[in-house]
Structure 1
Amino acid sequence: MGWLEFALAMTVFMASHRIPAMLGVKDRLTGALGPRGYTTAFSVVSVLLLWWVIKAAGRAPYVPLWDQTMTARWGVTIVMPLVVLLAALGVTAPNPFAFEGRAMGFDPDRPGVAGLTRQPLLWAMLLWAGVHTWANGDLAHVILFCTFGLFSALGMLMVERRRARLMGPAEWQRQSARTALVPFAAMPRWQGSPYRRPPWLRVGIAVVAWAALLHLHAPVIGVGPLP
């Protein structure tokens, strides 16, 4: 039953990110709830489904592939603040290249988080999946985190291709001139600070979110996050 629940949870999570758009459900819900309402509802559902997937992986039969090391646990501890910061900077920020961003307010000369990377949330997911694969050496968790890592990497390519097609070559070139997909690759093309002012509110949200994850990881997930 453990493997069946894990397979079902993974299937439902992945389907929830593809089927709504394919069947037009996303457009209908966006029309009914508004873009912000849909994003909020979708985020809540995604977090709940993600929690189910992680718990189901923990209930699956334990099949060891490699031993967990203290180095790997320290790797998770060090990388996760960056993961949370990327997510906080990316969600609903002016960024027409990412699905979690918004086109309104984007300035190609001062691209904000897009000057760091055009896909901050997907990079956050990829880093999260990578360090957790390293730290969890049993079969169920390797399947879980490798799937999310692959999902994130392929998602970057798909989103980039879709946005470039919708903008057209000339507009894509104009808007993406001071941005890059790979983090920090656009640094030489920045002109001064990428922000009109430091995004202290988003940094503060990231700090609070990281502290919450740190304290809730053990009671919610069942495993302490610190080495």
Structure 2
Amino acid sequence: MGWGEFAAALAAFGLSHVVPVRPAVKAALVARLGRGGFGASYGLLSLALLVWVIAAAGRAPFVPLWDPALWMRWLANLAMPVVVGLACLALGAANPLSFGGRAAGFDPLHPGIAGVVRHPLLWALLIWAGVHLLVNGDLAHVVMFGLFAGFAALGMRGIDVRLRRMWGEAEWRRLAAGTANRPFGGAWRGYRPALWRLALAALVWAGLWHLHLPVIGVSPAP
């Protein structure tokens, strides 16, 4: 328990996001489990390890660094609908340029959510981690959310570099022409998100709000 468990949980989470996605390892796992089986297994493993990391951070020794101000809690509450919205609009959408998207149906001239931002899931993670870092002013949570934020920021560049190398510079530029790492820096005008995705985002956000206190032990209300 304590710092040892927290370090072990962080190490396991980090390894789970490095080893399985290496091309040779991923190809072997997909061949054994199938693409759907790999995706489901990887998603469940990531979720389980994320729960462990959060629980371990809560059990680590409490070392206060600052007292969260009221405006920080308001900022977190205003940011969370954006986080959930980005995630619901990105998962399974046509976007071969980033994590969580699919290649089929992608049109570089009308890139959809990728035109809003090239890496919507990683931006969701970055915003989530950033605002939760502010409202948790103790050492363990600052380390945890800081690492998540760094992982998201570095992941955007890492995916771009890997796809450039895999596809070639010309093909990557062709596909990414209407996208940008900066929000609203691509061809987002004319994008109309599916209503069912927006409805799902509202339901997920409401569920997270109501479950935050019984599951996490802290009310999200300012």
Greater Cα offset, 8-17 or 202-211: 202-211
2:194 is matched with 199
Q: Partner residue of 2:35? A: 35
Show the 5 A alignment for 1:130-145.
Answer: 130-145=130-145
Tell me how far apart the structure 2 counterparts of residues 112 and 23 of structure 1 sit (CA, whole Å). 27
- How far off is 1:35 after superposition? 2.2
Per-residue deviation, 1:23:
8.4
1:224 maps to amino acid: S
1:46 is aligned with what amino acid? S
Partner of 1:213: 208
Corresponding residue for 1:5? Answer: 5
Match of 1:222?
217
Report deviation, 1:28.
2.6
Change in CA separation of 1:23 and 1:97 when aligned onto 2, cut-off 3 Å: closer
Out of 38-47 and 105-114, give the one that drifted further.
38-47
Which residues in structure 2 correspond to 1:143-162 (within 5 Å)? 143-162=143-162
Query: In 2, Cα distance between the equivalents of 1:23 and 1:2?
Result: 35
1:56-135 equivalences in 2 (<5 Å): 56-135=56-135
Change (3 A) 1:32 1:203: farther
| Residue type at the aligned position of 2:218 | V
- Alignment partners' CA distance in 2, 1:26 and 1:171: 23
- Count residues with an aligned counterpart: 222
Q: CA deviation at 1:101?
A: 0.9
| SS of residue paired to 1:19 | coil
How far off is 1:8 after superposition? 0.7
After superposition, the C-alpha distances for 1:6-41 in whole angstroms (9 at most, x for unaligned) are 111111111111122348443233223332332222
**Cα distance in 2, alignment partners of residues 43 and 16 from structure 1:** 10
Structure 2: distance between partners of 1:193 and 1:221: 39
Aligned residue for 1:20, secondary structure, equals: coil
Deviation at 1:63, TM superposition (A): 0.4
After TM superposition, what 4+ stretches of structure 1 lie above 6 angstroms from structure 2? none
TM-aligned CA deviation for residue 209 of structure 1: 1.1
Unaligned stretches of 5+ residues in structure 2: none
SS of 2:17's equivalent? helix
Q: Give the secondary-structure state (helix, strand or coil) at the position aligned to 1:211.
A: helix
Q: Give per-residue Cα distances to partners, 1:133-191, cap 9 Å, x unaligned.
A: 111100000000001001111111100111122221221222111111111012xx45x
| TM-fit CA distance, 1:46 | 1.0
Return the TM-score normalized by structure 1: 0.92
Alignment map for 1:166-205 (pairs within 5 Å): 166-186=166-186, 189-190=187-188, 192-195=189-192, 198-205=193-200
Distance 1:73 1:217 in 2: 14
Quote the Cα distance in structure 2 between the aligned partners of 1:23 and 1:17. Answer: 13
Give the % identical residues.
51
Q: Secondary structure at the match of 1:50?
A: helix
Could you tell which deviates more after superposition, 210-219 or 126-135?
210-219
Aligned residue identity for 2:182: V
TM-score relative to the length of structure 2: 0.94
